[in-house]
Amino acid sequence: MEKTSSTSRITRRTLLRALAVAGLGGAAGPLLGPGAITAQGTLGALQPEEKVEATMKRLFGGRPIKDGSGAIKIDMPLIAENGAVVPITVEVQSPMTPTNYVKHIYIISDKNRRPMNARFTLTPAMGTALVGANVRLGETTDVRAVAELSDGSLLMAKREVKVTVGGCGG
């Protein structure tokens, strides 16, 4: 972690400001104090940088994941010219009744530094289990959609997308 020269003159004001922006420079380290409430965007609060296997393990533990390629439809381009904006739509076949519905849909990109893209929490009031988003992809990668059903079982489908220009930068 780099020290910035601007924090060498620590007054009460600058210290408070440094705390508020989560300890750039002098007040280093993950904050646990009062400043932590507003500092949700610090590195410690982000998804960790890890391999996709580690992400899957962290999110789903050792739970078995069934092949859901029949039930999950991933709609996204075969080739994404710009990795910064890749539209993806995930639709899961489900009756979406209060007893049988899709609880969560995860979008995970295998080769992103932080593979987890988004997690959607769905309710039966949606009528269909369809969510779409624009995601960033760092390079040509498999994109996984994992659906967690209301009975706790997991389904996964995968699609490869070729990315011409990466869109993550970091």
The C-alpha angle 34, 119, 63, rounded to 5 degrees, equals 105
**Among 7, 14, 17, 24, which residue sits at the site for other proteins (rule: CB under 8 A)?**
24
Check binding of 98 to other proteins (CB under 8 A).
no
φ/ψ bin of 124: left (φ > 0), alpha (ψ from -120 to 50), beta (otherwise): alpha
* Least separation in angstroms between CB 60 and other proteins: 15
Distance CA 25, CA 8 (A): 9
* Least separation in angstroms between CB 98 and other proteins: 12
Check binding of 21 to other proteins (CB under 8 A).
yes
* Least separation in angstroms between CB 29 and other proteins: 9
The C-alpha angle 169, 29, 45, rounded to 5 degrees, equals 55
- CB under 8 A: which stretch of 17-25, 62-70, 144-152, 154-162 binds other proteins? 17-25
Cα 12 vs. chain centroid, distance in angstroms? 37
Return the exposure string of 128-144: e unless at least 16 CB atoms fall within 10 Å of the residue's CB, then b.
ebbbeeebbbbbbbebb
Residues numbered 52 to 91 that lie near other proteins (CB under 8 A) are 84-87, 89
Check binding of 122 to other proteins (CB under 8 A).
yes
Check binding of 133 to other proteins (CB under 8 A).
yes
Residue 18, φ and ψ in degrees, nearest 5: -60, -40
**Among 123, 142, 153, 164, which residue sits at the site for other proteins (rule: CB under 8 A)?**
123
Distance CA 161, CA 80 (A): 7
Binding site for other proteins (CB under 8 A): 1-2, 21-24, 28, 38-47, 49, 84-87, 89, 109, 112, 114, 116-123, 125-128, 130-137, 167-170
